[in-house]
Amino acid sequence: MNKQKILLELQRAYVATMMEVVGRGLVSTSYVDEEVRKEVAGLPVGFHIQMIVLPNGSRFTAKVIAGGHLELVSDFTGKPDLTVKFKHLSHAFLVLSFQEGTARAFANDRMVADGEVSHAIRLVRCLDKMEALILPKMIAQMAVKRYPENLTLNEKINKAARIYGLVAKNFLNRS
């Protein structure tokens, strides 16, 4: 296997892993952070969100449930209410390796939202808040449009620990 194919496969594996982490992280953040819970609560119960790498790459699907929470859906076959699509694996890699923020990726036409724009904006705010909470500040500042000014170190550490704990629990409990 040549070097370029190896790099492509490493990139594919990284993106697949990070899509799993992002999906589980969003679900977990909806239980830990009030801002994210309010954003999710603004969507109807049963609303399906999917994030996918085109053409047939990694994906996750989450559903809005009561209380402003999300849950992952492993066997979803219908058309989601909102689909966020990375147009190429390399575009997903840029975002998921925190080299480019979600808002910037949309602006650079690397991602497209299939659904209402207001719903996509809610999702981007949820993703940004999750990243601000779970990533070191220096990395999060590169990944998000605006780092929250009122996020204290104590809040960040407490919420990040809870989110990572829930993500780990979710990975351990998957069948």
Q: The domain 3-167 is classified under which CATH number: 3.40.50.300, 1.10.1060.10, 3.30.1050.10, 1.10.10.10?
A: 3.30.1050.10
pLDDT (tens digit per residue) in 26-70: 999 999 999 999 999 999 999 999 999 998 889 999 999 999 999
Q: How far apart are CA 134 and CA 108, in angstroms?
A: 25
End-to-end CA distance of the chain: 33
pLDDT in the model for residue 173: 80
Q: 171 or 60: which carries more pLDDT confidence?
A: 60
Check residue 1 and give its pLDDT.
66
Could you tell me the residue ranges of all domains in the chain? 3-167
pLDDT at 75: 86
Burial class from Cβ neighbours inside 10 Å (0-12, 13-18, 19+) for residue 57 reads middle
The contacts found for 5-11 with CB under 8 angstroms, 24 or more apart, are 8/89, 11/89, 11/90, 11/93
Mind listing the pLDDT tens digit for each residue in 88-129?
A: 999 999 999 988 888 888 889 999 999 999 999 999 999 999
